[in-house]
Structure 1
Amino acid sequence: MKVVVDMNKCQDHGQCVFAAPDVFQMNENGRLVFVSEPDEALRADVEDAADVCPLQAISIEG
């Protein structure tokens, strides 16, 4: 599984951080950072994160 975030769309709302904290985090500057190839066991959390993103900036490949 590969996580793709369109950083042109992302406005750092952070909803993904609540849905999948093992994959998405906010850095010290308040910007989103994420694991681009998380363990498959985290797929449900990543799918939830994609669903709750207000700008639909998150997609999953594979």
Structure 2
Amino acid sequence: MTISPVALITVHRAAQATVTSALPHAPVVAEPRPRARQPRLAGTRGVLASALRRAADRVAPPVCSPAH
């Protein structure tokens, strides 16, 4: 069975990265910071859309078709 040189290089680099990750000077992944809560706009948009639709229905002349 013949092993590709590209596969050998890839496996060697992956193994070397795993071995050197335990060294004292290895880079450390920072702890994730808690995210600030962002306002949810999905409900607000739906409420605004339905309010605008009701207002358009009330203001529209009776001859016209519905606004939506």
TM-score range, shorter chain: under 0.3
**TM-score computed with the length of structure 1 as normaliser:** 0.26
Larger of the two Rg values belongs to structure: 2
For CA contacts below 8 A with separation 6 or more, give which structure has more relative contact order.
1
Higher strand share: 1
Higher helix share: 2
**TM-score computed with the length of structure 2 as normaliser:** 0.24
